[in-house]
């Protein structure tokens, strides 16, 4: 049982955010607001804490965590951005678009056996400041039990995660919207349609997107 600190994310001062960034990089686990849904995350290089998140959520090992970064430059440290990725990032980051990218040599340790790294640069002001203060990405996933509805109410977050994480950072009720996900490790494939419309993505790419099911064809 962990001693969970429950705080209002919007009340944190710059020095508080810097201190939180250092704790996350060292392995603290936090429930926190994003620009889509509440997430649960820790430093991307903290293997033990990442496994803790899988256990808390009862998440299958075959389902990777997403990586959140404070800037495109931070993403480049761990992943290669192709010309297509650069165009999508310029148009939709910060925002609700996740790009699955080929890892750099430094990013190889973050793949956990998967082909690519799912990166997003969020637009939430608090989270953006937190990620910018970090020297490594945040490994993150939605704050809910695997297969259960996304939690949007503060009370539900506290009831579910109090005593299991180090921090619960509250920011009111969030609307349950997911990011759109595109795999760019080969030909662009749409893995999940979310906050950004398909036609908007295809307009930037200047080509149709393959669907996930087409992989076996």
CATH topology of domain 5-177: DHBP synthase (3.90.870)
Q: Kindly list the strands in the beta sheet with 138-142, ordered across the sheet, starting from the edge strand earlier in the chain.
A: 5-8, 167-170, 30-33, 38-43, 138-142, 66-68, 117-120, 97-101, 180-183, 189-192, 210-211
Which pLDDT score is estimated for 72? 96
Which pLDDT score is estimated for 182? 96
Where the chain has pLDDT below 50, the residues are: 214-217
Which pLDDT score is estimated for 216? 37
pLDDT digits (tens, 9 = 90+) for 98-125: 999 999 999 999 988 888 999 999 999 9
The pTM score is 0.93
Which pLDDT score is estimated for 139? 97
Which pLDDT score is estimated for 185? 94
Which pLDDT score is estimated for 54? 95
Please identify which residue in the block is written with the tokens 């992989």. Answer: 215
Which pLDDT score is estimated for 172? 92
List the chain domain ranges.
5-177
Angle at 143 between CA 139 and CA 146, to 5 degrees: 95
């Amino acid at each position: 049982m962990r001693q969970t600190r429950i705080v209002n994310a919007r009340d944190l001062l710059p020095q508080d955010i810097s201190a939180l960034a250092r704790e996350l990089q060292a392995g603290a686990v936090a429930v926190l607001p994003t620009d889509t849904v509440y997430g649960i995350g820790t430093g991307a290089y903290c293997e033990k804490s990442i496994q803790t998140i899988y256990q808390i959520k009862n998440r299958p090992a075959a389902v990777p965590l997403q990586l959140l970064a404070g800037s495109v430059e931070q993403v480049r440290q761990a992943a290669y951005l192709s010309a297509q990725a650069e165009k999508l990032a310029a148009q939709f980051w910060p925002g609700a678009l996740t790009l699955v990218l080929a890892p750099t040599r430094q990013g190889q340790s973050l793949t956990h056996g998967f082909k690519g790294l799912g990166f997003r640069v969020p637009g939430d002001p608090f989270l953006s400041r937190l990620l910018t203060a970090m020297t490594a990405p945040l490994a993150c996933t939605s704050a809910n039990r695997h297969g259960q509805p996304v939690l949007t109410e503060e009370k539900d977050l506290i009831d579910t995660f109090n005593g299991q994480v180090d921090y619960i950072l509250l920011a009111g009720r969030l609307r349950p919207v997911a990011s759109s996900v595109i795999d760019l490790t080969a030909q662009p494939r749409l893995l999940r349609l979310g906050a950004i419309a398909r036609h908007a993505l295809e307009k930037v790419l200047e080509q149709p997107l393959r669907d996930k099911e087409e992989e076996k064809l």
